[in-house]
Amino acid sequence: MAEENEHTSPEEQALADEWAAALSEAGDASQDDIDAMMAQGAASPPDAHKAPMEEFGSAPKVNLPVGLEGPNLDVILDIPVSISMEVGNTEISIRNLLQLNQGSVIELDRLAGEPLDVLVNGTLIAHGEVVVVNEKFGIRLTDVISPTERIKKLR
C-alpha cells in the first residue's frame, strides 16, 4: 500500500483522500441503524409515497401553446439534428439484398412525382419536392406539419 502512494500524483492523492473521507462519513451508520430505517419503511403503508398510475398516463393539466416564444427554447436552439429526405422505402429479403449490384433497380412504395418525406431525427415534419440549386440537390417544402401535430406524434 505504501508503494502505491509513492507513485500517485498529488491530484490523485487528493481525490483518494476525498473518497476516503466520504466513505468514512457514510460508514458512521451502523447495521442496526440501517435495519431500523428499513423496518420503519416496511411499517409504513406501501402506497403512502406512490402516485396512482393513472396520474402518469394522463395528459398534462396545463396546455401551454407550442411556439418559438417559450422562455427556455434558447437553450436548445443550437443543438444539431439530423435531417433526411425519404424518397420511398420497401422491404426485401437478405438474399435479394446480397444479389444487388451496379445497375440493379429497387421498386419503392411511392409513385413518381409524389412528394418526399422530410424527417428530422426520424420524425416526419414536412413533405417536399426535389429542386436543383447551384448544381446541388435541395428540397422545396410543400407541406409542413404543424408543431402541435408533431408533438402529438411523439406521445
Q: What gap in Å lies between CA 110 and CA 37, rounded to an integer? A: 63
Q: State the fold for domain 73-154.
A: Surface presentation of antigens (SPOA) (2.30.330)
Q: pLDDT digit string (tens) for 49-108?
A: 555 555 554 555 555 555 555 456 777 888 898 988 888 889 999 999 999 999 999 998
> Is the torsion defined by CA of 33, 34, 36, 41 positive or negative?
positive
Residue ranges covered by each domain of the chain: 73-154
Whether residue 16 contacts residue 4, with contact meaning beta carbons closer than 8 Å, is answered with: no
3 pLDDT above the threshold of 50: no
Over range 124-138, report the average pLDDT: 90
